[in-house]
Chains A and B, each alone.
Chain A
Amino acid sequence: MNILDARNITKRYFVGTRQITVLDNVSLSLNEGEFVVVRGESGSGKSTLLTILSGLDRPEGGRVFIAGQDITDLREDDLAPLRNTTFGFVFQSFHLVPSLTALENVMFPAELANDMAAREKAAKLLSRVGLAERTESYPHQLSGGEKQRCAICRALINEPRIIFADEPTGNLDSANGNAVLDLLLELHRERNTTLLLVTHNPEVAGMAERVVNLHDGRIVTDGGHA
């Protein structure tokens, strides 16, 4: 069974009175343990697709299934456990909780899940991405790259079944970018985690098992390498 199954997704926005279709009849399936990269020029709808696949937004048309369960019309509260343990998010612009320290940000999903070892796990993850010294820093005290790494640790802490990552290495130099990728790939290999990754980086795309190309809200190619 597919871990993720999206059928005929359509997403429109209204700008003033004008309607624009950002996603047009997009269908996409992911197998459990797959590593898929989404590519496409700026404004092609990559981020929008990710938010819909992960239940952060509702499409105008189409359905999204996670492990066979239709999540399209689920209420926010019913999505909560999915978001907590099944999904991991890494956003293009981090979205760390500003009132929490780096460590607290990473711990948070584990604490919500009543994980007693939350603090140790979080500390371990942070030191793996080179942030052992910054655990007590608040997001506004971190650089873009540091925030990015912190966000990735937060996405990984509950060892989710799917990770949605929107340009996770966009802000990082190659050394740090590689560390982050290593972390993601390690999880992918060891726990058979599904990875859905948006990136412009051809090197990263090259590591993927499958590449999906978006253009103007439609999938133009799916499969193989770009």
Chain B
Amino acid sequence: MAVMPDFRYIRRQISRSRHQSLVFILCVALSMVTLVSLGSFSRSVHSSLLRDARTLHAADIIIRSRAPFPADFEAAVTALEKENAVESARVYEFYSVVRKVAEDDSLLAQLKVVEQGYPFYGQVKLASGRPFHEVLTSGSIIVEQVLLDRLHLQVGDRLKVGEAILTIADVVVSEPDRPVNFFALGPRLFVAAADLEALDLVGKGSRVSYYILAKVHDQRRLANIAKELRGFPSEERIRVETYRTANSRVKRFFDNLLFFLNLIGIFTLLLAGIGIQSTLAALLKEKEKTIAIMKTLGARSFYIISHYFGVALLLGLIGTLVGLVVSLALQNFLPSLFRGFLPADIGLGVSPVAVGEGLFIGFMVVVLFTALPLFGLRDVKPKAIFGKEEQRASRHGSTWLVGGACAMFFLIMVLLRIRELKTGLYFVLGTGILILAAFFCTTWILRQLQKRDEDPLIFRQAMKGLFRARNSTRAIIVTLAAALTVVFSITLVEKNLDASFIQSFPADAPNLFFIDIQSQQKDDFLKTLGIPATTYAVVRAPLVAINGERIDPEKERGKRGDNLGRTFNLTYRKFLLDDERIVAGKGLFRPDWKEPQVSVLERVLEMRDMKIGDLLTFRVQGIEVSARISSIRARTEKGLKPFFYFVFSKGVLEDAPQTFFTAVRLDKERIAPLQNHIVARFPNVSVIDLTEAVTVFSRIMAKLSTIIRFFTLFSIVAGFLIIISSVFATRHARIQETVYFKILGAKKRFVLAVFSIESLLLGLISALLALIFSQVGSWIICWQAFDLTYRPFIGTSLLLVMATALLVLSVGVGASLPILTHKPAAFLREQSDE
């Protein structure tokens, strides 16, 4: 039987169930808004920051090393230049404290010493608008505006950088290979390579990043040239990458952020889907009698389903349009949300692709989440006419089907969006566990509540309300608890980070670090410093093998989080620090072992499992040094005190090229004078004011959490839509109860109290569950990811719980309020019809 959908019929069905239709539309709109705003944001990020990989690296080939390039490598590059295959420019990046010439005032700056030619792609934009290469000549420097502000300088003034005195020629506005600068500990300062010698800052062992940027004339040769350079037998770890393979820090950061936001987005989508499903189910339940009568009169299931599918599609369409309009409106607000994270001049528009993607996924969500309630229509039996409504919802497999469909959708979305199977699976598993835990806890709590019957009348009625037929109490609690867990966790983790680093910078933790002290400067430095301080030797070296098995740095770096592919800071000493303890082994080193030994910090084991007796091989200045693991250490307190992953026994590293660093605790007002004093005497020593670094960090954190909260907000809205839908779904039952209570002599206050307690219970149970889950989750996150001592923030937690309960209360009661004003007679008559 071919059925033309009857639009009048569809319209009437919708206008008869205005409330449910509205919530349905809102759920669809919500998922659209989430998809479009997330999609647009990630597209903006990609197009503004990551679009042109060549510009992002300012070159075709990027060669990076932590040490000066060996002569033969330099020769190889020169040879390529000679045959006119490439053009190259050297770039040196490091931190140094720069000083005013006349007065005692200094500041840590991020130096970038560049040769002519840089940048090969993109431009360094200057405030004056002049071309970069014309301005940056020997004797001139170009700085960020912040530096001028902080040191009260102007263009044209002179500045002491290392041993040289240079003139500030211009102000840098943007540079291609650093599109955003929120990671920097100090303002940017460009120096011409011709002045490098004069600075006298690049000494052996300093933390200089050496780069050779190359432009390849014949792009077809790009891969081959890169391969050739990569294959160069070098003892140092030289990383040769093309703009295609290079992974910039900015890209990594945004990849991670977008990854996380995508997870939240998918989560929201899931909740919105549940909302769509429960509203449609409620809507269809309202039509049950109509449907039963249609069936009695001979209508086929297909006919009925196709009509209600029409209803769902029409509502979905309206929801999509509403969602698009809201997304467009939101675009006015997004730039201020992302300010500082994205270059100021980028346009944040709704991307047509994001809209297309949103439409498609939105359509899938509507189809998927409406399928089950629609197919449920097949089971409507004509006997429903007699109004013999089942009190308890029958649970024949459909619940499992719903769960299964949701899980499938979830998995597909995760895989589609995240494109990382393992993390995706972990995420799905984590969410699954969260939802299951919420499900079982809720079931248990509800069962406990159902057992009680000695409570006062109002409480008993409220409890009855929770178990009212069609009231998706359990679904609401599970969804709300899961959504709230995410929100609470973000708040708790942020609070913890804030408390550990920003608020109460630990009183005994050092706040001033002096790095890159040369061996021969050590004694003089300590004398000049004038306060007792421990110095730590630092030998920088990569780990090349474990038990003879080579480490593949590329593979390592591909991992999320810390990895074995980087260069480590090694040290040597005989004793355990105050804040360390041995977790495996007898003492730091084994007196009975004659060979070189190394003690490993427990956290290294998270990157790769290691045990006592394993042989670790590092490459120290070209020479491979092996040592056997003698102990595993752990830190007794988490905090900002200096620590080392690898501590060597005496007699291994003493002769290697090394620098020293020390950390002291100083009052804030003493920092600047000491910094000026030290730097005047030891220009190569970098002074890092942690309180300053912490400010940078807290700014990033605040911004990040705002963005994350913004997207989490959508999932909360989804949770509330589910509550509202449930109130509407039970509207009939609520009116009925209200009327019956009233005719039996109950006052409005009584009815209101019953509804309030019901909502309050709902809110409290969800919030308390969320609190427990988020406390556990945040504890794990703080402990594992940030290495912090966890604080539970009981006060804040209780506030969160109360706020949630109040919010749920007002939504629940607010949606029930219109019911209270009903006069009994009209309803009683309607009732008797049935």
Contact = CB atoms under 8 A, between A and B. Distances in A.
Interface of A: 47, 51, 56-58, 76-77, 80-85, 89, 91-93, 95-100, 108-109, 111-113, 138, 140, 154, 158
Given A58-B823, A99-B468, A91 B750 contact: no
A32 B826 CA distance: 29
13 contacts: A51-B824, A56-B824, A57-B825, A57-B826, A77-B748, A77-B749, A96-B740, A98-B391, A109-B745, A112-B457, A112-B746, A138-B391, A140-B391
A51 B825 contact: yes
B394 interface: no
Contact of A80 (B468, B742, B823): B742
Contact of B740 (A76, A97, A138): A97
Given A57-B824, A98-B736, A108-B744, 11 more contacts: A51-B828, A83-B743, A83-B745, A85-B745, A95-B828, A97-B740, A98-B391, A99-B733, A108-B741, A138-B391, A158-B745
A130 B829 CA distance: 29
Nearest to A58: B823
Interface residues of B, number: 33
Contact of A91 (B391, B747, B832): B832
Contacts of A93: 831-832
A112 B314 CA distance: 47
Contact of A140 (B388, B465, B823): B388
B464 interface: yes
B513 interface: no
Contacts of A97: 736-737, 740-741
Nearest to A54: B743
Given A57-B823, A58-B823, A99-B465, A92 B832 contact: yes
B469 to A, nearest CB: 8
Given A97-B737, A140-B391, A76 B825 contact: no
A197 to B, nearest CB: 18
A85 B745 CA distance: 8
A192 B389 CA distance: 40
Contacts of B831: 93, 95
Nearest to B750: A112
Contacts of A89: 743
A85 B744 CA distance: 9
B525 interface: no
A138 to B, nearest CB: 6
A122 B727 CA distance: 32
A89 B745 CA distance: 11
Contacts of A51: 824-825, 828
B467 interface: yes
Nearest to A155: B744
A98 B733 contact: yes
Contacts of A77: 747-749
A83 B736 contact: no
A82, A83, A154: most-surrounded residue (chain B CB, <10 A): A83
B308 to A, nearest CB: 26
Contact of A81 (B389, B469, B745, B749): B745
A95 B827 CA distance: 11
A2 B390 CA distance: 46
Residue in A85, A91, A97, A109 with the greatest tally of chain B CB atoms within 10 Å: A97
A58 B824 CA distance: 10
Contact of B828 (A56, A58, A84): A56
A97 to B, nearest CB: 5
Contacts of A85: 745
A96 B741 CA distance: 10
Contacts of A84: 744-746
A108 B832 CA distance: 21
Contacts of B469: 98-99
Contact of B744 (A58, A83, A138): A83
B457 A111 contact: yes
Contact of A56 (B391, B741, B743, B745): B743
A14 B787 CA distance: 73
Contact of A100 (B464, B748, B832): B464
B754 to A, nearest CB: 11
A76 B832 contact: no
B388 to A, nearest CB: 6
User: Which among A77, A84, A95, A113 has the greatest number of chain B C-beta atoms within 10 A?
Assistant: A95
A198 B737 CA distance: 25
Interface in B444-498: 457, 464-465, 467-469
A112 B828 contact: no
B747 A109 contact: no
B746 A140 contact: no
Interface string B747-769: 11110000000000000000000
B391 A109 contact: no
Contacts of B465: 99
Contacts of B825: 51, 56-57
Nearest to B736: A98
B313 to A, nearest CB: 32
Contacts of B742: 76, 80, 83
Interface string B210-247: 00000000000000000000000000000000000000
Q: Which of B389, B733, B741, B828 has the most CB of A within 10 A?
A: B828
| B469, B741, B745: residue with the most chain A Cβ atoms closer than 10 Å | B745
A108 B391 CA distance: 20
A80 B824 contact: no
Nearest to B749: A77
Contacts of A158: 745
Contacts of A80: 742, 745-747
B740 to A, nearest CB: 5
A154 B391 contact: no
Closest 8 CB pairs of A and B: A84-B745, A57-B825, A93-B832, A83-B745, A80-B747, A99-B464, A56-B824, A51-B825
B79 to A, nearest CB: 88
A56 B744 CA distance: 11
A132 B538 CA distance: 88
Nearest to B457: A111
Interface in B800-834: 823-826, 828-829, 831-832
A159 B210 CA distance: 97
Contacts of A138: 391
A59 B201 CA distance: 98
Interface string B381-400: 00000001111000000000
B682 to A, nearest CB: 81
Nearest to A138: B391
Contacts of B741: 97, 108
A91 to B, nearest CB: 7
Contacts of B736: 97-98
A111 B456 CA distance: 9
Interface in B705-722: none
A103 to B, nearest CB: 11
A140 B467 CA distance: 15
Contacts of A112: 457, 744-746, 750
Contacts of B739: 95
Contacts of B749: 77
B747 to A, nearest CB: 4
Interface in B267-304: none
Most B-side CB within 10 Å, residue of A76, A91, A96, A108:
A76
Nearest to A92: B832
A65 to B, nearest CB: 19
Given A57-B823, A85-B745, A138-B391, A99 B467 contact: yes
A47 B833 CA distance: 13
B755 to A, nearest CB: 13
Contacts of B457: 108, 111-112
B15 to A, nearest CB: 17
A95 B825 CA distance: 12
Contacts of B737: 97, 99
A154 B743 CA distance: 11
A93 B826 CA distance: 14
A111 B741 CA distance: 12
